């Protein structure tokens, strides 16, 4: 009985290993992703040594603050397509790919703490000249 269980375990391990190897896909190069997803109105701005992918859309009413939308973990600015379509007729909507996500890519020191993201967001908004805004987010955002 022990021999059957042992060989069954080896067989299962072999099947799982082959499955993982067969299903593996390498990361797609950033330039390939940019060609596909950096369509208008996409823009890039240099912030903290990163080329940050963002979109600034809509026409703001004179009395309105811009709406800045921050995506969650494992997502990108595309998360906000529906919200942007609904808001851009009355507000200026700014959304970005945070470092390590979407088309922005990783930062050099791989620091992704909440303090890092808060500081990064402040630098991003300063570069765009945004003094006040309404923040919206989900999950990490």
Q: Say if 108 falls within a structural domain.
A: yes
Enter the tokens of residue 15. 């099947």
Structure pTM? Answer: 0.81
Please list the pLDDT of the chain residue by residue as tens digits (141 residues). 777 877 777 777 788 778 777 777 777 888 898 899 899 999 999 999 999 999 999 987 777 899 999 999 999 999 999 999 999 999 999 999 999 999 998 999 999 999 999 999 999 999 999 999 999 999 977
What total number of domains does the chain contain?
A: 1
Cα 33 from Cα 30, distance rounded (Å): 5
Q: Say if 14 falls within a structural domain.
A: no
Q: Say if 20 falls within a structural domain.
A: no
Q: What is the DSSP string of 71-128?
A: --TT--GGGGHHHHHHHTTTS-EEEEPPTTSTTT---TT----HHHHHHHHHHHHHHH
Q: What CATH number does the domain containing 61 carry?
A: 3.40.50.1820
* Domain assignment of residue 76, given as a range: 30-137
Q: Say if 118 falls within a structural domain.
A: yes
Q: Say if 110 falls within a structural domain.
A: yes
């Amino acid at each position: 009985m022990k021999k059957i269980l042992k060989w069954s375990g080896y067989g299962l391990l072999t099947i799982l290993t082959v499955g993982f190897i067969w299903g593996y896909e390498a990361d797609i190069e950033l330039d390939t992703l940019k060609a596909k997803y950096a369509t208008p109105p996409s823009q890039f701005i240099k912030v903290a040594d990163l080329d940050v992918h963002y979109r600034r859309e809509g026409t703001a009413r004179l009395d309105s603050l811009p709406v800045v939308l921050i995506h969650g973990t494992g997502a990108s600015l595309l998360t906000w397509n529906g919200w942007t379509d609904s808001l851009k007729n009355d507000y200026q909507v700014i959304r970005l790919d945070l470092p390590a996500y979407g088309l922005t890519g990783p930062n050099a020191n791989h620091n992704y703490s909440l303090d890092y993201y808060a500081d990064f967001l402040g630098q991003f908004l300063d570069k765009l000249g945004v003094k006040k805004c309404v923040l919206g987010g989900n999950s990490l955002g």
